Structure 1
Amino acid sequence: MEALIQQVEEREDELISLLSDLIAFRTPAPPARNTEGIQNRIAEKLRSIGFEVDQWEVYPGDPNVVGSKKGTEPSNFNSLILNGHVDVASVEEDEDWETAPFKAAVRDRMLHGRGAADMKGGVAACLFALQLLHENNVELPGDVLLQSVIGEEVGEAGTKQCCERGYSADFALVADTSDCEIHGQGGVVTGWVTVKSPTTHHDGTRHRMVHAGGGLRAASAIEKMNKLITALQELERDWAVNKSYPGFAPGTNTINPAVIEGGRHAAFVADECRLWITVHFYPDENAASVAKEIEDHLLATAKADLWMKNHPPTFEWGGASMIEERGEVFPSFSIDEEHLAVDDLKEAHEKVFSQPARISMSPSVNDGGWLAEAGISTVCYGPGKLEHAHAVNEQMDIDQLLDYTKTLLCFIVKWCNHPKTCGNMSSSKSQ
């Protein structure tokens, strides 16, 4: 193990070159449908280190890649999924980057480029760790799978399709941005709230709707939506006071009115208004339960309104793509701190970083919820800081990337050498 760890230091240039190569592929989402090149490169890399590769299109131009390497005794020893996405946050033309976003640049031990932190750094570390194991003839008794997926940035079903395709393991590690902390997460669901009038009115008739004696029972959908936005703020405050979950700052469960669309022209009274909201919820909730809470509250608000009681709002929730359907869901997941794999990961982290691993809940979301929903114990543990993800001049600390790769090596070897009978028991429980 010490020899493998030393090789990470000695071969730093190879890891930096690999990450730079991945960054050079322009894979922003949106627009997406642009990951075929990088996925072919990753598939080629996996084949070169002894992995069998399954590659299929989730969308045209956006394939998933799953590499699998059978262990020497797969039915008796623990298996592992390493998961990462290759799409990156979009880059706008007016952003003031100090370096070209898709050409990696190293400055003061920081590697700059779109995707360095989120999360091509994590993908590169996984690939490099697996390469070192292969080149040093380290045979593991348990299976190892690498899932290189698309669509995470826009809520698409890359990881979900891996689960639906039958890929599973005794434990999963998502190498997404966590600053090398062990993270669980809350969930996210987006929704559309729509207020719609059955009739359309000229702007010149507005006085008859709003002034005494007008006699026209009608309303502006935009103005009625204002009342619903106020109701959402009241519900959000109630959640902050009355709901909590260990590891989350108070009030992390938010209802964000993100986008509003309404009206057809300045010469009309708005006959329709749509509000796009993003809802963060805790691991002891789910998308359906929080959606029902919101619907019940807004319908009660509408019932108290003289016009909306006869024209209540309607709702659409979730979706499989922010691009195709303008909606997404990210399931939550908590960390089973009694799981032996978590013990192994903490031990590996402390060995390399010389300090205890921190376990916390992420304020963001990633694909780990789909793995957990498929019944796989999962953590997010990856290099890079959240403040650098999606940011102009996105960057990765090279020294942290090296230490993360060393930790992965230690963890993979130890976990895949544990007999399956120990898989769901902590070391303290199994003694």
Structure 2
Amino acid sequence: MKTLIQQVEKRRDELIGLLSDLIAFRTPAPPARNTDEIQSYIADKLQTIGFDVDQWDVYPGDPNVVGTRTGSHSEDFQSLILNGHIDVASVEENEGWETPPFEAVIRDRTLFGRGSADMKGGIAACLFALQLLHENDVDLRGDVLLQSVIGEEVGEAGTKQCCERDYGADFAIVADTSDCELHGQGGVITGWVTVKSPATHHDGTRQRMVHAGGGLRAASAIEKMNKLITALQELERDWAINKSYPGFTPGTNTINPAVIEGGRHAAFVADECRLWITVHFYPDESADSVAKEIEDHLLATANADLWMKDHPPTFQWGGGSMIEERGEVFPSFSIDEDHAAVNDLMEAHEQTFSEPAKISMSPSVNDGGWLAEAGIPTVCYGPGKLEHAHAVNEHIDIDQLLDYTKTLLRFIVKWCNQPKERS
């Protein structure tokens, strides 16, 4: 182990070069459909260090890569998934970058470039750690899998497809941005609320809808949506008062009215209005349960309205892509602090960083929920700060990246040489 740790320092330029290569691949999502080249690069790296590689298209131009190194005694020793996404946040022109976003630039022990923190830094560290294990002929009795997935930035859940393809393990680390803390997370689901009139009216008939003696019971879908937005705010406040979960600040469970679409032309009364909402929920809830709470509350609100009781809102929840379906789901997950792998990871962290590892709940979301939903104990543990992810001049601290790689080496060697627990 001492030799491995020393090599991380001595060969730091190789790790920085690897991360620089990954940053140079332009993989923003949206637009996505641009990861063929980077995934081929990663697949080649994995094959070079003795991994069997499975590569398949999730969408045309966006393949997943899973590399597997079979342990010398797979049946009897613990296995591990290292997971990361290779898509990055979009980059707009004239955002004010001080360095070219798709070129790694080093200043004062800091590496700048889109994806450095979220999360090509984590992917590079995983690849480099696995390379060092291979080159030093380190025996791992249990299996190690690296999942390089697409689509996390736009809810396309390449990780979910890995689970559906039956890639599993005894433990999983999502190497996403956590400032080297162990993170669980709440969940997210998006939904569309639609108010629709069965008839379309010229705006000249509005006086008959809203003034005495008009005799026309009709409504503007936009105005009725106003009532539902107010109802959502009331429900959000009630959740903040009556729901909580350890590790989250009060009111983390929010209902965001993110996008509204309605009306067809200024000469018509709006006959349809659609509201796109984003809902954050706690690990002791599910996407289905919070969706039902919202539906029940809005339907009760509609039932108290003279027009909406006969024309109630309709709902569409989730989706597999923000690009293709304008919808997404991120399941929640919590950390089992008594799990042996969690203890081993915390010990490896403390040995490297000379301070105890922190366990907390992320205010963001990542693909770890899909691994947990598949029954795999999971933590998010990666280099980089959330405040730098998606930001102009995104960057990562090189010393933290090196220490993260050392922690991975310590953990992988211990965990994958630990006998499985037999029931």
TM-score tier after normalising by the smaller chain length: over 0.9
2:319 corresponding residue in structure 1: 319
Q: Residue 129 of structure 2 corresponds to which residue in structure 1?
A: 129
Distance 2:107 2:301 in 1: 55
Corresponding residue of 2:266: 266
Instruction: Give a deviation string over 1:291-328, Cα, whole Å, max 9, x none.
Output: 00000000000000111011000000000000000000
1:358 aligns with 2:358: yes
- Aligned equivalents of 2:79, 2:297: Cα separation in 1: 45
The one-letter amino acid paired with 1:268 is F
TM-score (norm 2): 0.99
SS at match of 1:269: coil
Q: Match for residue 191 of structure 1?
A: 191
Distance in 2, Cα, partners of 1:218 & 1:317: 27
Matched residue, 1:45: 45
2:134 matches 1:138: no
Q: 1:226-268 deviations in whole A, cap 9, x for unaligned?
A: 1100000000000000000001110000000000000001111
Q: What does 1:85-124 align with in structure 2 at a 5 Å threshold?
A: 85-124=85-124
Segment drifting more, 107-116 vs 233-242: 107-116
| TM-superposition CA deviations, 1:323-361 (whole Å, max 9, x none) | 000000000000011100000000000000000000001
- Match in the other structure for 1:74: 74
Match of 1:220 in 2: 220
| Residue-by-residue CA offset, 1:169-213 (whole Å, 9 max, x unaligned) | 000000000000000001000000000001111111111111111
Which residue pairs with 1:429 in the alignment?
Answer: none
Structure 1 residue runs of 4+, over 4 Å off? none
Cα distance between partner residues in 1 of 2:269 and 2:261: 14
Which residue number in structure 2 is paired with residue 248 of structure 1?
Answer: 248
- 1:372-429 Cα shifts (integer Å, max 9, x gaps): 000000000000000000111111111100000000000000100110027x9xxxxx
1:337 corresponds to 2:340: no
Deviation track 1:271-293 (CA, whole Å, cap 9, x = no partner) reads: 00000000000000000000000
Q: In the aligned structure 1, how far is the partner of 2:127 from the partner of 2:30? A: 25
| One-letter amino acid matched to 2:253 | N
Question: CA separation in 1, counterparts of 2:122 and 2:64?
Answer: 17
Number of the residue aligned with 1:346: 346
**Aligned equivalents of 1:275, 1:316: Cα separation in 2:** 10
Distance 2:307 2:85 in 1: 47
TM-score relative to the length of structure 1: 0.97
1:367 aligns with 2:348: no
C-alpha deviation, 1:3, in angstroms: 1.2
- CA displacement 1:81-134 (0-9 Å, x = unmatched): 000000001111231111111011111111111100000000000000000001
Does residue 171 in structure 1 map to residue 171 in structure 2? yes
Give the superposed CA RMSD: 0.8
Aligned twin of 2:401? 401
Partners of 1:216 and 1:20 in 2: CA distance: 66
* Equivalent residue letter for 1:97: W
- 1:12 corresponding residue in structure 2: 12
Please say if residues 58 and 157 of structure 1, whose CA atoms lie closer than 8 Å, have aligned partners that are also in contact: no
CA–CA distance in 2 between the matches of 1:227 and 1:353? 53
CA distance in 1, matches of 2:101, 2:270: 42
The percent identity for this pair of structures is 84
Q: Secondary structure of the equivalent of 1:201?
A: coil
Partner of 1:287 in structure 2?
Answer: 287
User: Which residue is 1:428 aligned to?
Assistant: none
Contact 1:182–1:360 (CA under 8 A) maintained in structure 2? yes
**Aligned residue identity for 1:394:** E
- Do 1:260 and 1:276's aligned partners in 2 also have CA atoms closer than 8 Å? yes
Specify every segment of 5 or more residues in structure 2 that has no aligned partner in the other structure, as ranges: none
In structure 1, the residue matched to 2:154 is: 154
Q: In 2, Cα distance between the equivalents of 1:155 and 1:11?
A: 35
**Alignment partner, residue 384 of structure 2:** 384
Question: How far, CA to CA, are the matches of 2:292 and 2:93 in structure 1?
Answer: 40
CA deviation after TM superposition for structure 1 residue 270, in Å: 0.5
Deviation at 1:157, TM superposition (A): 2.6
Q: SS in structure 1 opposite 2:421?
A: helix
Alignment-derived partner of residue 427 in structure 1: none
1:136 CA drift (Å): 0.7
Q: Secondary structure at the match of 1:3?
A: helix
Distance across 2 between alignment mates of 1:224 and 1:110 = 52
* 1:33 paired residue number: 33
The CA deviation string for residues 22-75 of structure 1, in whole angstroms up to 9 with x for no partner, is 000000011100000000000000000000000000000000000000111111
2:58 matches 1:58: yes
How many matched pairs?
A: 423
